[in-house]
Structure 1
Amino acid sequence: MSVERNFIAPVRVADRPKRRLRFAERDSLFWRRAWGGLWAAGAFLASASAMGTPTGFGASQDVMLMVLAATAAMGLFSMLLAIVFTWLRLPLPRLFAGGAATLLSGSIAALKVSGAGWTGSVVIAAAYTACGMAAGMLLSALHAVSARRCDDGAGTPAAFKAAAISAALLLLLPAAVRMSEDIGEAMAGEAADYALAPPPSGQGGYQAFTYGSGSDRREEFAEGAMLVSRTADASSLLPSWSPLKSLYWGFEPARLPLNGTAWLPDGEEPVPLVLLVHGNHLAEQDSDKGYAYLGEMLTSRGYAAVSVDENFLNYSVWSDIPEDDMLLRSWLLLRHLEQLAEWAEQPDNPFYGRIDLSRTALIGHSRGGQAAAMAADASRWFGSGVDGVSIRAVAALAPTDTITDGERAQLSGVSYLVLQGGRDADLTDFYGERQYNRTAIEPDSDAFKAAVYIPEANHSRFNSDWGTMDNSLPGGLLLSQKGLLSGEEQRAAASYFISAFMDAVFRSDAEARDRIRNPGDSLPGFRSPGYSIQYEDGSYRMLQDFEKAGDPPSLPAAEAAPGLSAAVEPVPSRSGGGQDSLAGVFSWAAGSGEDYYRIRLEEPPVIQPAGGITFSAANRSMDLCDADGSACQPQEITATVRLTDADGQFSQAAVGPISPPEAPRYLRMSWLAEGWSKGKYKAAAASVLHSYRMPLKLFAMLNPSLDTDGLVSVEIRFRSAGSGPGKLMLDNIGLYGPDFSKSSISPPG
């Protein structure tokens, strides 16, 4: 056979009328083999899509079925398009061209479903299709060389085939190479999930067991359950329930199961109870298992922990999440508490006398974080909570904050902790900060609240079973993984803050509060992500919180430096909305000297020696760059606090430079952000406040003549480090008293 005939079979003019419908006439052996490269690209795309949309039958079955479906679609549409190309008399290898068009269309559809815009979808799909075409052609060419060498008695066909396949994969699957880099990034600093958490507090062993309905589709909640729980009638909250859900789960809304995995420390004394609840993920994946690292860490420190199963409320390929699912999620938490309270009174039950329901905490991730806050404010939606249960603490990992029945949770008398990742590609806004701002801390109470922003954390890695990506495959492959904390690092950070939070709430541990405010080097071997942390407790006395819009002084005795531009504005979110709080915003031009905001104290405040001055601040100089569209480099802001007494004596101390935040890079290719999910990833840098605390003893040490009992003004002074223009956001300027903790002036990170 000639090279010409092997590559493109010529067509004689006399044969054209009778061969017009023979759509494969131009697809020689070379092009038919090259079509295999297109099939491989389609199979890879189908496999990734199957892993991103599990059906519940198992990953291997999902992949097999999706690849079979893709193969059938590739074959059918290749032939149909080849027929069209034949009628159009296009001088192409028509089956191969039809396969390329099919792969291109399928790739565009997969990217659009993932959230990409039209431009990004077309460009990436075209590049991917070109790789498939090149890989197929290379594979076919190498196969031809191999066959020729075999016919000539030289070489080994197997070796040439291996080389051909390897070369083809290099062209065909560049995304697989990037995926391997992601896996390597995720495995960086490989360690046990909670190995970097503070050491346990001397507790002994523990027992782990499950409770459930006794007839669940999951064995651990069926025959494997130690305790059989009652069911919960949610028919009034869940009027619509797909028959497919009943078929898959095996129950109706009138008898939702109460399933949980419990960790109970050894001993005889009652211990605080902590419930953990997941958020929305694929229902076919068991999200509740992903918090075993927290359950084991908590029980090792002397707390009883339960990870609650609410997977049947999650999204599925077969059905969407229920309406008003936030009500259902929080309502189910209350039903679990009722069941646990009942067991705690039964002498033969492992919970009998072992859980102290007056010391209960809720931990939730994503929608579970909002559900936890709603359950702690149950009377707002359900009229009352659970008798005998006192929820004293709520911790949220990257929570949502949606309006439910026209309301949002308003916590009072409850300590609150929220952790948020700055690279969260699911919830790009810091919604938990809004709940933080709505959480009321009564004066002189033991309650406190803290909001921790971790710039290099994402959404999924708080759960050990949610994978490394915040978007499902194949779109998740386009998320940037560079610089992200590994799953182990992120879960170590969660363990660190949650353990400190529980110890601070239930043990009044002074060191634990300080670990939250100032993590510093508390995590040896853990790369510092530059936390921004807000904190407030019952010892605080606010001098200025800027909650009245208008001129920032707003206090009769407050004033700003002349020429300083000042206003009260909402604390912005990344998407442009507000964070349910107002702050003072001060801006100045290049070349300005040191500016200030001063509060005069009409009566000297009563501050104990352990107390001091506190305020929150964020560098918003990036706004000045955005204002005129010019390229600029925001500068650090140097800030000091000056205290003055009635005799004119003053003392001042620096809080360290306040750095401008960096805008996160969510996608591998920044140009994709414009059209992705309606601009969801076209994100500005988040203006996240950080709380500074400066003890009075520091000022007294710097100037022993300062009368700290007779202060007449508190002044915050600031300027750009490079004498350029600047913009500073200030909030929650006040005094703090002895809150059973150490004082610190550490800057973020």
Structure 2
Amino acid sequence: MASSTPSVTPIPGPAQSLAEPGSRRWLTAETKLWRALLCGLGSGALWGTVLASMLAGYEQRLLPMPWNLLLFGFLGFAFVSAGDGILTLLWKIVGFVLRRLKWERPYHLLLAIPQNQIGRLLAVGLFLYGRHLFPETIFNNVGLPPSTQLVIWPIAVSGALVNVARMPVRGQRGRLVLLGTALLLNSLAVGWLLYRGTDDYLARAELTPVTAVTPLTLENPGLPGPYSVNSLTYGSGTDKQRDEFRAEATLTTPTVDGTAIYPGFGGLGETVANWFWGFDFSQLPLNGRVWYPEGNGPFPLVLIVHGNHSMAHFSDPGYAYLGEHLASRGMIAVSVDENFLNGYMLADAGGAEMPLRGWLLLKHLQQWRTWNETPENRFYGQVDLSRVALIGHSRGGEAVTHAALLNTRPYPPVTRVADSDEFGFGIRGVVGIAPSDGQFKPNGRPLILQDTSYLMLVGGHDADTHTAMAIPTYNRVRFADNPDAFAAVAYLYRANHGQFNTIWADRDYGLMDSTLLNRQAYLSSEEQQQTARVIITAFLEAVLNEQDGYRQLFHAPHTAAAWLPDDLLVTTYKDASFLAVDTSTRGGQSKNVTLTGAIATATDFATWKRERLLLRDGESSQGNLALHLIWEAGAEPMYSLKLPPETMREWALTGQDDLTFALTSASDEPLPLEVMVELETAVNTTVRLPLSQFGAIHPPLPAHILKADWIEPVLGFDKINVQTPYERVLQTYVLPLSAFQTVDAAFQPEQITAVRFLFVGEQGGAVYLDEIGFVKQ
């Protein structure tokens, strides 16, 4: 008798519909709820991934639009379809084995499972979470950003809901509910991604406002200057992506070989980058955008260089607002193109290329020296190479510090291609805009800038560096042989990382992940760029044109309030004229005072100690120690320094000199605070003045970088490492000794024997106090 084999009826997939006319045509033949959910989920995840890949690839721009979007959409489709195909093949192999073994029941169970949808879901999971599951693999570069989960999973769930609605067992009302839920889910996801966040936590007012404001009488450095501005581009002509540096370039430059400093990305990343640009690191171009004043020079030269960003989303045009402004004020400004050193989805040097970034800037300066010495060139005799400044943004902000050091003291690996006396330009100033620090350490040591003026401009809502990470660069600046050099920090509370560049804008993490950032708190792009004009130009006027009056902006920012947007600005300042009394450099015990012979006394404090100042990640040092003072409610705390008479006689202070110190709140709450500063002389003349007469006392400045606390644990967004929303940035105060003389004519600065700080805060309080000393004019 012949054995009978049960017939197997194929189960229709999610794409198969009943061939019924009219409104029922879109219904599926699926009757099992779990299969309908799974099939819809897989199909939705596929198309959600296609859309997410297109959005994530927007700034990669390896091809012209819209082909670039289609390319990344196809790559997303191919990746998910590969999971579909691999699991389908595995299913066929397992099914073949089961049939050969005549295991009919497992075989039928296998057929009932929609393996293609499971394969899709596994592939989507790998695409999203591969960098966490398999760190240090290709998934670090090709995975989707965390924010795309809010695109993919709502579409996937909507696919499941729609597929259930298509089941023939559903009534019309049930279908409408399911379809409405799918629409609502996607609307909520899109709405939340477009939602910019909140600003209700922002500190809006000073703890103690300044009571006597004497505005700077100098010209507003943020206004255009008297010069008409011309512009041009120069380039090596090898960049197939940039016509402005090739066919449209006014001046032609040679290429340079950087492989001895950094050979390239290596692997597939380097191959794609070389195809994209049309050259490798042995033929790096010298490309730049120039804005220059009409008139007879010579003019100072300012180079501006961008940082790391998607290499195909060109960064150099983003400083046109600053270049045009500087040129109108009599400076030649150049936005240097180093996009070919930037990373992208397949490669990133991670800072190893930093010496190459700095060396390339010096090669640009060499080219300018050649033009300045060539009679036939339009810039012949127009450039003052003894007055040079370098401005860098982000990774470029660290690169300009490298360039300033390489200018006089080349270090390995740059010594392979540069002699010690090859450069020697008159680099007087370095500006770091939201700069990085320590991504490359020559000989394993941090950079120390000496006898070159330095400015760090950084935003309190910077999501890219997420801390004021280059404050250690400021603290390492030294003055030895240049009495005119100074250094400053300008901490702009509501500024972000990207709006200092018009291309980067408010997207500190690209198009998609920036939707997770709390951008409602930001200054507008125009406000942030105008602040950059004011602060950077004031610095350059002081450094390049010896307009020293602009230095006051960096220790008394309230005097420039009319030039700046409505935001809290914290400034730290130091120069070569500082006479240190108590700077916590000796560390250790609280009574260890910098000035030999000085004696410190603290009264009525709950805590009195010298400690390392940390950045808001809770781990990284600011490269500085400060005095941490805490007092309880109802206390009358006072910190006093008794000064050695012999030193004070040697210093011979006069009414032209100043008392200076730095202070910031160490509290998490904006507790009321007043500080009184008291000076006593050898003849017992005592004068006490409120600090608010000389500057405002800033409140704690919280910054909520992300829109919600759940983003990091739920979406795995681990790019921002902060342990506290507060960055403790010291505010420098300068108190003219003449102000104490005005109160009491018997006060003689050369007889000062004691400095006292009295803290009036009835609810208690906490501060960091540092850099106490005098400024000798």
Instruction: Name the counterpart of 1:190.
Output: none
Unaligned runs of 5+ in 1: 1-13, 150-159, 186-195, 623-632, 739-749
CA RMSD between the two structures: 4.0
Q: State the distance in 2 between where 1:124 and 1:377 align.
A: 40
Q: State the distance in 2 between where 1:122 and 1:442 align.
A: 48
Q: State the distance in 1 between where 2:64 and 2:7 align.
A: 51
Q: Say whether 1:48 aligns with 2:86.
A: no
Instruction: Name the counterpart of 1:461.
Output: 499
Shift of 1:337: 0.8
Q: State the distance in 2 between where 1:87 and 1:519 align.
A: 78
Instruction: Name the counterpart of 1:11.
Output: none
Counterpart amino acid of residue 190 in structure 2: A
Would the alpha carbon gap of residues 446 and 243 (structure 1) be closer, same or farther in structure 2, given more than 3 Å must change?
Answer: same
Is the Cα–Cα contact under 8 Å of residues 198 and 521 in structure 2 kept in the other structure?
no
Alignment of 1:582-601 (within 5 A): 582-601=625-644
Shift of 1:474: 3.3
Alignment of 1:391-430 (within 5 A): 391-402=427-438, 403-430=441-468
Would the alpha carbon gap of residues 444 and 254 (structure 1) be closer, same or farther in structure 2, given more than 3 Å must change?
Answer: closer
Is the Cα–Cα contact under 8 Å of residues 489 and 573 in structure 2 kept in the other structure?
yes
Shift of 1:457: 1.7
Q: Say whether 1:691 aligns with 2:725.
A: no
1:477 partner SS: helix
Shift of 1:77: 4.8
Would the alpha carbon gap of residues 386 and 169 (structure 1) be closer, same or farther in structure 2, given more than 3 Å must change?
Answer: farther
Greater shift after overlay, 674-683 or 56-65? Answer: 674-683
Q: State the distance in 2 between where 1:441 and 1:589 align.
A: 39
2:259 partner SS: coil
Instruction: Name the counterpart of 2:515.
Output: 477
1:431 partner SS: coil
Counterpart amino acid of residue 62 in structure 2: G
Instruction: Name the counterpart of 2:658.
Output: 612
Q: State the distance in 1 between where 2:71 and 2:707 align.
A: 30
Q: State the distance in 1 between where 2:221 and 2:165 align.
A: 54
Shift of 1:577: 2.6
Counterpart amino acid of residue 232 in structure 1: V
Is the Cα–Cα contact under 8 Å of residues 274 and 362 in structure 1 kept in the other structure?
yes
Instruction: Name the counterpart of 2:356.
Output: 328
Residue in structure 1 matching 2:9, options 16, 19, 36: 19
Is the Cα–Cα contact under 8 Å of residues 237 and 247 in structure 2 kept in the other structure?
yes
Would the alpha carbon gap of residues 347 and 488 (structure 1) be closer, same or farther in structure 2, given more than 3 Å must change?
Answer: same
Residue in structure 2 matching 1:566, options 585, 604, 608: 608
Instruction: Name the counterpart of 1:8.
Output: none
2:302 partner SS: strand
Would the alpha carbon gap of residues 92 and 311 (structure 1) be closer, same or farther in structure 2, given more than 3 Å must change?
Answer: same
Q: State the distance in 1 between where 2:193 and 2:526 align.
A: 18
Greater shift after overlay, 84-93 or 461-470? Answer: 84-93
Count of matched residue positions in the alignment of Structure 1 and Structure 2: 686
Q: State the distance in 2 between where 1:397 and 1:113 align.
A: 35
Is the Cα–Cα contact under 8 Å of residues 451 and 482 in structure 2 kept in the other structure?
no
Counterpart amino acid of residue 369 in structure 1: G
Please give the per-residue CA displacement for 1:386-409, whole angstroms capped at 9, x wherever unaligned.
546210011111111212332333
Shift of 1:301: 0.8
Q: State the distance in 1 between where 2:274 and 2:76 align.
A: 29
Unaligned runs of 5+ in 2: 19-26, 29-35, 92-105, 200-219
Counterpart amino acid of residue 592 in structure 1: A
Q: State the distance in 2 between where 1:202 and 1:536 align.
A: 31
Instruction: Name the counterpart of 2:624.
Output: 581
Would the alpha carbon gap of residues 214 and 652 (structure 1) be closer, same or farther in structure 2, given more than 3 Å must change?
Answer: same
Is the Cα–Cα contact under 8 Å of residues 233 and 255 in structure 1 kept in the other structure?
yes
Instruction: Name the counterpart of 2:667.
Output: 621
Counterpart amino acid of residue 224 in structure 1: E
Counterpart amino acid of residue 46 in structure 1: S
Please give the per-residue CA displacement for 1:104-163, whole angstroms capped at 9, x wherever unaligned.
66544589899999xxx9998887666325544676799999xx99xxxxxxxxxx99x9
Instruction: Name the counterpart of 2:214.
Output: none
Q: State the distance in 2 between where 1:247 and 1:40 align.
A: 30
2:398 partner SS: helix
Alignment of 1:494-643 (within 5 A): 494-520=532-558, 522=560, 527-555=565-593, 556-562=597-603, 564=605, 565-575=607-617, 576-602=619-645, 603-604=648-649, 605-622=651-668, 633=669, 635-643=671-679
Alignment of 1:290-369 (within 5 A): 290-321=318-349, 324-369=352-397
Would the alpha carbon gap of residues 80 and 420 (structure 1) be closer, same or farther in structure 2, given more than 3 Å must change?
Answer: same
Q: Say whether 1:273 aligns with 2:301.
A: yes
Counterpart amino acid of residue 558 in structure 1: I
Q: State the distance in 2 between where 1:122 and 1:317 align.
A: 11
Counterpart amino acid of residue 620 in structure 1: A
Q: State the distance in 2 between where 1:90 and 1:496 align.
A: 70
Counterpart amino acid of residue 302 in structure 2: V
Instruction: Name the counterpart of 2:204.
Output: none
Please give the per-residue CA displacement for 1:456-487, whole angstroms capped at 9, x wherever unaligned.
22222221112422223533322222312232
Q: State the distance in 2 between where 1:224 and 1:25 align.
A: 53
Please give the per-residue CA displacement for 1:542-599, whole angstroms capped at 9, x wherever unaligned.
2222211222332432222245433322222223232222222223344321322323
Greater shift after overlay, 565-574 or 516-525? Answer: 516-525
Q: State the distance in 1 between where 2:443 and 2:496 align.
A: 29
Instruction: Name the counterpart of 2:685.
Output: 649
Q: State the distance in 1 between where 2:454 and 2:317 align.
A: 24
Counterpart amino acid of residue 278 in structure 1: H
Q: Say whether 1:207 aligns with 2:230.
A: yes
Is the Cα–Cα contact under 8 Å of residues 114 and 475 in structure 1 kept in the other structure?
no
2:742 partner SS: helix
Would the alpha carbon gap of residues 320 and 683 (structure 1) be closer, same or farther in structure 2, given more than 3 Å must change?
Answer: same
Identity between Structure 1 and Structure 2 (%) = 30
Would the alpha carbon gap of residues 341 and 399 (structure 1) be closer, same or farther in structure 2, given more than 3 Å must change?
Answer: same
TM-score (norm 1): 0.81
Would the alpha carbon gap of residues 318 and 215 (structure 1) be closer, same or farther in structure 2, given more than 3 Å must change?
Answer: same
Please give the per-residue CA displacement for 1:655-677, whole angstroms capped at 9, x wherever unaligned.
24744524422222213446643
Greater shift after overlay, 78-87 or 57-66? Answer: 78-87
Counterpart amino acid of residue 215 in structure 1: T
Instruction: Name the counterpart of 2:217.
Output: none
Counterpart amino acid of residue 155 in structure 2: G
Greater shift after overlay, 432-441 or 696-705? Answer: 696-705
Is the Cα–Cα contact under 8 Å of residues 55 and 317 in structure 1 kept in the other structure?
no
Shift of 1:503: 0.9
Counterpart amino acid of residue 626 in structure 2: A
Is the Cα–Cα contact under 8 Å of residues 470 and 476 in structure 1 kept in the other structure?
yes
Is the Cα–Cα contact under 8 Å of residues 114 and 474 in structure 1 kept in the other structure?
no
Shift of 1:346: 0.6
Would the alpha carbon gap of residues 514 and 422 (structure 1) be closer, same or farther in structure 2, given more than 3 Å must change?
Answer: same
Instruction: Name the counterpart of 2:759.
Output: 718
Alignment of 1:724-735 (within 5 A): 724=764, 726-735=765-774
Q: State the distance in 2 between where 1:72 and 1:123 align.
A: 20
Would the alpha carbon gap of residues 89 and 573 (structure 1) be closer, same or farther in structure 2, given more than 3 Å must change?
Answer: same
